[in-house]
Amino acid sequence: MNKLSFSIIGLMTAGSVLAACQSDGYRIKGEAAMLNDGDTLFVTDDLFTGTPIDTLIVKDGKFETEEEKADSTRLCMVYSKNHKGIYAPFFIEPGTISIKLSEKPEETKVNGTSTNNKWQEMNDSVMRIGRQINSIAAYVNGNTLNYDQQQREMKKVETLHKQFRELVMEYAEKNTDNEFGYFLLTAYDDMAGMSDTDDPTEADTKLELIKKLPRHMQERQALKMVVKKLSQMKSTAEGNIMPDFTMNDINGKPISALAEIGKNKITVIDFWASWCGPCRVEMPHMVRMYNGYKDKGLGILGISLDSKREAWEAASKELGVAWPQMSDLRGWDNAAARMFNVQSIPQTIVVDSNGKILKKGLRGEELETFIKSLME
């Protein structure tokens, strides 16, 4: 299930500290016309927990801080506990940071310093893409669509996701000499719910930009972890032999992926879950394809992203899943899903008997046409 309902406008869900040797002071001056005198705003640099590092009291629709020391450039957020839609991510850095809060995220603005000006400029651009994605989400969620219609809408979303990543990389390329570029190359994709695609070309682009960062930034642990992730992603690109992995089957017996794949001429690795509506819509097509080509050497290996065995078993029986399945019952944290950078389900990977990756991401008619070309 692709996360159609997410909003790029609400993409600030993780934090990142950007080390920079600075000793100048900063202050925040803001507007919050919708709040009352005495209302409290909180500032946090831990966007996971929201633990406050400062509080701001609204007076006459405004708030501000005294000048404080800025030893580093780091991502923070100002937010209201009583008004969930009122918040603004911003970067603490030397200078006067201007924040205008609004109940409409697209009208919230942050500027006044170098990094915050760049941040706002880029957010204005990605919000335009976000509004298009949200419009598609509203259409899909508000209408009863058949399989082909769902596929068309998902293709539109995939195209918009690609545009988003390209836009972020454009800004990263312009800022490889500063902390904003470092932030975009290490944290922004995950924050936006747009983690790295499995496109090796995009991985290469990101790795090349990382090489342009100053040496002291390349020594940071966060960046080294990104490089490791990108390198792993390239290892599971089309044309490579997939790594082996072992998980329990639906009966609790450990099995090797490559051992199962070796039994077939062609195998479709199918990532799915009992709770995934699009997966359930897709499954009859998978069953029909399997029954049509299993005698010619087609196999399917299901990888369930369920966390409860009972739900996995019940859905498998209900949907007529007759092929081997594996799961570590860790949901989205499934080891194989992480290995192949699976960001949405259903997701398929077509491999030969040696585990060579032939095609990724095919569904429906496209998948069946590709399998037919290999089997006949």
pLDDT, tens digit, for every residue of 354-374?
Answer: 999 999 989 888 899 999 999
CA 136 to CA 155: how far, in whole Å?
Answer: 11
CA 96 to CA 42: how far, in whole Å?
Answer: 18
Residue whose pair of structure tokens reads 């585990």 in the numeric block: 355
Burial label, 192 (beta-carbon count in 10 A; 0-12, 13-18, 19+): buried
Higher-pLDDT residue of 251, 196: 251
Angle at 246 between CA 242 and CA 250, to 5 degrees: 120
pLDDT at 336 (0 to 100): 94
- Let me know if residue 109 belongs to a domain: no
Residue whose pair of structure tokens reads 């924040």 in the numeric block: 99
CA 306 to CA 89: how far, in whole Å?
Answer: 33
**212 and 261 in one domain?**
no
- Say which amino acid occupies 213: L
pLDDT in tens, 306-325: 999 999 999 999 999 999 99
- Say which amino acid occupies 131: R
Q: In the predicted model, is pLDDT for residue 19 greater than 70?
A: no
Say which CATH number the domain at 81 has.
2.60.40.10
Residue whose pair of structure tokens reads 């997939």 in the numeric block: 242
**226 and 143 in one domain?**
yes
pLDDT in tens, 235-284: 788 899 999 999 999 999 999 999 999 999 999 999 999 999 889 989 99
Domain end point (choices 55, 73, 104): 104
pLDDT at 333 (0 to 100): 93
- The average pLDDT across 106-113 equals 92
- Let me know if residue 1 belongs to a domain: no
CA 264 to CA 259: how far, in whole Å?
Answer: 10
**270 and 165 in one domain?**
no
CA 372 to CA 312: how far, in whole Å?
Answer: 29
**268 and 345 in one domain?**
yes
Structural domain boundaries enclosing 190: 116-235
76: left (phi over 0), alpha (psi -120 to 50) or beta: beta
**121 and 47 in one domain?**
no
CA 287 to CA 65: how far, in whole Å?
Answer: 62
Q: Which pTM value belongs to this model?
A: 0.62
**54 and 29 in one domain?**
yes
**152 and 230 in one domain?**
yes
CA 199 to CA 112: how far, in whole Å?
Answer: 36
**12 and 74 in one domain?**
yes
- Let me know if residue 347 belongs to a domain: yes
**348 and 282 in one domain?**
yes
Question: How many domains does the chain contain in total?
Answer: 3
- Let me know if residue 120 belongs to a domain: yes
**259 and 369 in one domain?**
yes
CA distances from 260 to 217, 240, 246, 339 (A): 43, 18, 10, 18
Q: For residue 69, which phi and psi values (nearest 5 degrees)?
A: -75, 140
CA 320 to CA 300: how far, in whole Å?
Answer: 13
- Let me know if residue 3 belongs to a domain: no
CA 328 to CA 338: how far, in whole Å?
Answer: 12
- Let me know if residue 24 belongs to a domain: yes
The answer to whether 224 and 210 are in contact (CB under 8 A) is no
Tokens for 258, please give them: 């490559």
Q: In the predicted model, is pLDDT for residue 11 greater than 70?
A: no
**332 and 278 in one domain?**
yes
CA distances from 146 to 86, 140, 274, 346 (A): 37, 10, 19, 16
Domain end point (choices 43, 71, 104): 104
Residues 6+ apart with CB under 8 A from 132: 160
The 10 Å CB-count burial string (b at 16+, else e) for 10-32 is ebbeebbbbebebeeebebebbb
Q: What's the residue count for the chain?
A: 376
pLDDT in tens, 37-76: 999 999 998 877 889 999 999 999 999 998 888 877 888 8
Angle at 153 between CA 236 and CA 138, to 5 degrees: 120
The rounded mean pLDDT for the chain is 86
**362 and 260 in one domain?**
yes
Domain end point (choices 83, 104, 125): 104
Tokens for 91, please give them: 């970067």
- Let me know if residue 325 belongs to a domain: yes
CA 29 to CA 99: how far, in whole Å?
Answer: 6
pLDDT at 9 (0 to 100): 37
pLDDT at 21 (0 to 100): 36
Angle at 244 between CA 238 and CA 247, to 5 degrees: 125
- Let me know if residue 2 belongs to a domain: no
